Amino acid sequence: MPPMEIDGFILHPGALTPDAQSILVEAVLAAAEIAPFYAPLTPWGKPMSVQQTSLGPLGWVTDKSGYRYADRHPVTGRPWPPMPQSLLDLWARYADPERPPDSCLVNLYRGEARMGLHTDSDEADLGAPVLGISLGDTAVFRLGGPGRKDPTRSVRLASGDINLLTGAARRAHHGVDRILAGSSRLIPGGGRINLTLRRARR
């Protein structure tokens, strides 16, 4: 299917073959044995409904000290596992071949997990793209504008889809309203894994 673009939000439906999806899930779950999924806390002490881990030199973390990037897992204290080469290749193909990503946030959605409207604004260069890879159950993704109360629209992100936030969309509010449970059998135990690749530092 051809790409779809909405003001800098670019969706590549079915970009990954089923085999490529399976190989990527295996690599991510193997990395999670070293850097296990955990339930992060927001700065005001509320646990997030998604579980998270990271790959690469830096991981996005949140706790009472605020949102930031850190070079170690907040629970184990160990460095994050490296990104698989396949992720670096996807970044080079769809995002920015000149500057590789230094962070891959891994979100695991199960049950009622969701992600409220937010902007990705903890990176040093907000002009750098953000690349998302969907694996497993379909997500109902909501895309808005730079203001929290701007009009929004919903887009379904299925397993194997790749999306890119560039230009105006880089500052757009976005989130995940819900997961369509059972829409995929890719993830052991069910659910959705979303990989978000970024340039956290210049």
Average pLDDT, the chain: 96
CB within 8 A of 81, min separation 6: which ones? 31, 34, 35, 55
CATH of the domain at 157: 2.60.120.590
More confident residue, 1 or 130: 130
- The C-alpha atoms of residue 5 and residue 16 are separated, in whole angstroms, by 18
The pLDDT tens digits for 22-49 are 999 999 999 999 999 999 999 999 999 9
Asked if residue 190 has pLDDT above 90, the reply is yes
Residues in the chain: 202
Asked if residue 202 has pLDDT above 90, the reply is no
Q: Give the model's confidence band at 9: pLDDT under 50 very low, under 70 low, under 90 confident, else very high.
A: very high
Mean pLDDT of 140-149: 95
| pLDDT computed for residue 132 by the predictor | 98
Asked if residue 2 has pLDDT above 90, the reply is no
CB within 8 A of 195, min separation 6: which ones? 24, 28, 87, 104, 105, 106, 132, 133, 135
Q: Which domain holds residue 45?
A: 4-198
Asked if residue 1 has pLDDT above 90, the reply is no
The pLDDT tens digits for 145-176 are 999 999 999 999 999 999 999 999 999 999 99
Domain count within the chain: 1
The pLDDT tens digits for 84-125 are 999 999 999 999 999 999 999 999 999 999 999 999 999 999
